[in-house]
Amino acid sequence: MDFNLASFLPTSIHPMVVHFPIALLVTAALFEAGCLVFRGFLWLDRAATALVTLGGISAGVAYLSGERAAEAAAPVAGVAQGVLADHEDLALLTLIASGIAIVLRLFVSWLGRHDLEVHLGIFRLAALTAVFAAVALLVLTAYHGGQLVYDHGIGVALGKG
């Protein structure tokens, strides 16, 4: 018997959960930038760590729910198949980038656990880069997801109502 974590999620949950990583990771990127400008506000650093972590976890839930939704959807053909494949690939890359951002962000917070202000360093800049990379990949993933729904009608129940 194959174990598939995505099989535990309802097929219709994906449209509901995709907005959490968008909101959390974009806000995390703003807090990351804020850490560079307002270095005396250590709470920005801690909040950025929390937002990146929650954003990455929610990206994982969105990815798994997307896998479940793709399994349950009717076969996709033509141009939509390519868009779906791109959406899935970009979602995986977003998840990987989010995971890297989480690890770097937690490390930065651990290194600065006794600091009284935000300090710049190679790991902070790497974390900043990873968060912004995750957001860029997230934007591309969302764009392809929007194409699937609005251009190709994937996941839209037609003729009901």
Under the banding of pLDDT at 50, 70 and 90, the label for residue 49 is very high
What is the pLDDT at residue 11?
63
What is the pLDDT at residue 1?
52
What is the pLDDT at residue 80?
76
Output the 3-class SS for the chain.
Answer: CCCCHHHHCCCCCHHHHCHHHHHHHHHHHHHHHHHHHCCCCHHHHHHHHHHHHHHHHHHHHHHHHHHHHHHHCCCCCCHHHHHHHHHHHHHHHHHHHHHHHHHHHHHHHHHCCCCCCCCCCHHHHHHHHHHHHHHHHHHHHHHHHHHHHHHCCCCCCCCCC
Q: Tens digit of pLDDT for each residue in 97-146?
A: 999 999 999 999 998 888 777 778 898 899 999 999 999 999 999 999 98
What is the pLDDT at residue 76?
73
Q: Tens digit of pLDDT for each residue in 14-27?
A: 889 999 999 999 99
